[in-house]
Amino acid sequence: MMDVFFIERDPYAPIRHCYPVSKILYEGKSEYQEIMVIESPHFGKVLVLDGVAQCDERFEFIYHEFISHVPLFAHPNPEDVLIIGGGDGGALREVLKHKEVKRAVLVDIDKQVIEVSKKFFPTMAVAFEDPRVIVLNEDGYKYVQDYEQEFDVIIVDSTDPVGFAHVLTTEEFFKYVYRALKDDGIYVGQTESIHYHADIVRRVQKSLRKVFPIVDLYTAVIPGYAGYWWTFSIASKKHPVREPSRDVNIQTKLYSADMHRHAFLPESFYQKILSGEY
């Protein structure tokens, strides 16, 4: 079957990733999106939503370590964590490595993504049964509006901010996030790539700056995401974010205190991205 390929259908990427496919393990459609699981040599199983690869067994740790540990280690004591999206369970697994975490609420609108992940990605969807976890299949945009001073860290691990995930990158949403965070809370969200989606990066950074006093951008190179030089927009009410505030006392593959610092771009280049000069 080495001549069978899955070709991504990502209207926002100028290039398509073409994965060799050894098996098609699942094809379904939830209320919100098409869900597919394929197996690809070198990558292992790949979760595909609406024709776009979301994560693969081999490299999912990169995205999940960086979306989780940068905000959680920037925070001195992250007890209450909210994950919006993240139904694959990868970010949840990383969040729960922090013994400080007393409660992790995962709000993913699409129950079927969680079910598929539990079935096909047991090393990723490994933490759903942890007693600290609360899973809700609700609209994260609405959920966050009901809370005030509730969370230490809010992670938005959504699909691309186009289509139904777009509202999760608006200024209005960030105001709700700000309110739902405690006085020293930290927000993070994935904001696409530097090279293919600079307009999205700039738009989100601009909106965050209207709401939060500390806003920054960090990166990780994600093999499976067209654009590769992936950005995470981080916003903080009080704590600086470019350094871990605690010892990195957990097991990781790529994240470390050094890589935390290195994930942030030099200020001069960051400013060029913000201004549109790059």
Q: Contact residues for a copy of itself (CB under 8 A)?
A: 5, 7-8, 14-20, 40-43, 59, 194-196, 221, 223-224, 227-229, 253-254, 256, 258-259, 261-262, 265-269, 278
Nearer to a copy of itself, 20 or 139 (CB): 20
Catalytic-role residue among 3, 157, 183, 199: 157
CB of 210 to a copy of itself, least distance (A): 27
Dihedral class, residue 260 (left if φ above 0, else alpha if ψ from -120 to 50, else beta): alpha
152 is in an annotated binding site: no
Distance of alpha carbon 153 from the chain centroid: 13
CB of 112 to a copy of itself, least distance (A): 26
Nearer to a copy of itself, 7 or 134 (CB): 7
**74 with 236: CB under 8 angstroms?**
yes
**28 with 43: CB under 8 angstroms?**
no
88 is in an annotated binding site: yes
Nearer to a copy of itself, 59 or 174 (CB): 59
Quick one: which of 263, 266, 253, 258 has its CA closest to 233?
Answer: 263
159 is in an annotated binding site: yes
Quick one: which of 185, 229, 210, 188 has its CA closest to 79?
Answer: 185
Q: Verify whether residue 157 is a known catalytic residue.
A: yes
17 is in an annotated binding site: no
Residues 6 or more apart from 249 whose CB is under 8 A from it? none
Catalytic residues: 157
Which residues are annotated as part of the binding site for spermidine? Answer: 64, 88, 157-160
